[in-house]
A and B are shown apart, each in its own frame.
Chain A
Amino acid sequence: MSSGNWVIYVSLLFVALNKLLQYTASYHDSWGSRLALPNVKAAGNKYREVLAEHQKLAASNRAVSAQDDYARWTKNNRKLTQMENELKRLKEQLAAATAQNKQMLGKLRLVSLTLPFLALKLWKGKHVVFYLPKSNVFPKVISGVWSQGWLYLALAPLKLVTGKSVVTASTAEVGVSLGIWLWALQRVIDTLEFLLKQLLLTPAMARPSVGEKHEITSDKVALD
């Protein structure tokens, strides 16, 4: 049994990591930008540089009189238009690099978390986590099915009719496999989450105030 404990610990680790990633979803973008590839950082820096230049030129152009210094004003406008086109291009580049980065991080998650967890579930899916107690925890019908299979259910009415006993000693050792246990664990966690959200995290909604009831007593329409 102790040799199989590592399976349980690793599974719990995977479940915990998945939950952590789920709860910190809003921070993923900022973490992703810190873990960005060099091309993303370079694109971001270039964009910020050109943007700063553009803002500086736009500010200085606002101080130039269009009518008294038309040539200079127009040349500045031409440069500003060029920079705007450049900014558009850099923005597209940055978006593409960021998307690529995000895709790469997604693949990393797949390879380091999702696939190993799946492999574990497939490989050790039938590993027994614990055995059910032999005492009368479950209804007799269920104990009967476990020890004798579905045939028990099929034959039970017959036994009742003929007066034979339907109670059987629960001799079979019934274990809970890793797959079932993980599923049940996930359901329990989800249910607890739901309860906490509903009971504690959802703000209470005030009862709507009902004003005076407006009753229509006649067909006459009040005109202004």
Chain B
Amino acid sequence: MTTDSSTLNASEAELAQLVVETLNLDQAAADIDPDAPLYGEEGLGLDSIDMLEISLTVSQRYGVKLRADEENNVEIFRSLRSLNAYIQAHREP
């Protein structure tokens, strides 16, 4: 277990890699700040098409459905870390 909050744990690193590949980001997966905002101008600067793409990929890879009627989407998609926490809590065993 790492204590440094800016480094990725194993499952976060896997998700970061998936996001980078899916969206063809010019950024190494290891360089993503897990707490940086995903959506909007700051942080990773993703738009709503990117968010759709991530939700489709996550559903394929982890079997976790991200739905629009989920009220906590802003929280879930806040950062790589929060998205990963949601996936790990809901993925099929």
Chains A and B form a bound pair = no
Binding site for A on B (CB under 8 A): none
Binding site for B on A (CB under 8 A): none
